[in-house]
Amino acid sequence: MIVYKSCIRCNGDIHLKEDQYGQFLYCLQCGATTDVPRRIDVVGAEALANIA
């Protein structure tokens, strides 16, 4: 699952990843990671609903 142009740092494309701690967003451009529940609402809660 890739969300385009949603990185909070560089506005790059982010990839939804998951480990034992849960889901997070990983930027393909700059490598920034973002917790899903915390910052995705900047992009739009509807997008998160579609992911989940």
Q: Which residues bind Zn ion (CB under 5 A)?
A: 7, 9-10, 12, 27, 29-30, 32
Q: Which is nearer to Zn ion, 3 or 20 (CB)?
A: 3
Nearest CB to Zn ion, comparing residues 27 and 40: 27
Choice between 29 and 50, CB closer to Zn ion? 29
Structure tokens at 19: 């480990």
Question: Smallest distance from the beta carbon of 1 to Zn ion, in angstroms?
Answer: 16
Give the three-state DSSP class for 10: coil
CA 29: distance to chain centroid? 12
